[in-house]
Amino acid sequence: MTKKRVHVAVGVIMQQRKIFVSKRSEHQHQGGLWEFPGGKVELGESVTDALKRELQEEVNIVTHKSQPFMLIEHDYGDKQVCLDIHLVTDFSGEAKGLEGQQCQWVEVDKLHTLDFPAANQGIVTKLQAEF
Ligand SMILES: Nc1nc2c([nH]c(=O)n2[C@@H]2O[C@H](COP(=O)(O)OP(=O)(O)OP(=O)(O)O)[C@@H](O)[C@H]2O)c(=O)[nH]1
Ligand SMILES: [Mg+2]
């Protein structure tokens, strides 16, 4: 049986050494863990467009500038994901959870104190090494 493989646009929203994170709801895949906002890239959609759409839908911001940061392939067993992670360096609007999810701005230095899905470990490590 072939496993589902999902291409995900993920946004690291950064402002003055703080990063905006939200909590996945319990019923979602990897529920109850913190995440960088984002979601699935739809058929025929570019990653940049998917990122812009998801960030507007989930956390209320309009992305003006983003740049590729890293790509992570991870197999959860029940699901295989390809996280296409982008740094969001310019946006407008106040970041807030539009889907009832808990959100917070967290210092880069404190990112490792939050519980993220396993696939995110590499993102936290790279962010703390570079910023
Ligand atoms: N958005 C996001 N998804 C992540 C992260 N890390 C990670 O493993 N994922 C996985 O990526 C997959 C897709 O993301 P998603 O659930 O946000 O997709 P979506 O917004 O389109 O929502 P939906 O599932 O309700 O349609 C999930 O299986 C999720 O567990 C992360 O930091 N951010
Ligand atoms: Mg999502």
> Where do the domains of the chain lie, and which CATH numbers do they carry?
5-130 (3.90.79.10)
Closest among 63, 52, 128, 58 to 93, alpha carbons compared? 63
Whether the predicted model's global pTM rises above the 0.90 cut: yes
Task: Confirm whether residue 17 is marked as ligand binding.
Answer: no
Task: Confirm whether residue 77 is marked as ligand binding.
Answer: no
Ligand 1 pocket residues where CB is under 6 Å: 6, 8, 10, 28-30, 35-40, 54, 79, 81, 83, 117, 119-120
Give per-residue pLDDT as tens, 31-84: 999 999 999 999 999 999 999 999 999 999 999 999 999 999 999 999 999 999
Q: Within 10 A of 3 (CB to CB), how many other CB atoms are there?
A: 11
Cα 39 to middle of ligand 2, angstroms: 4
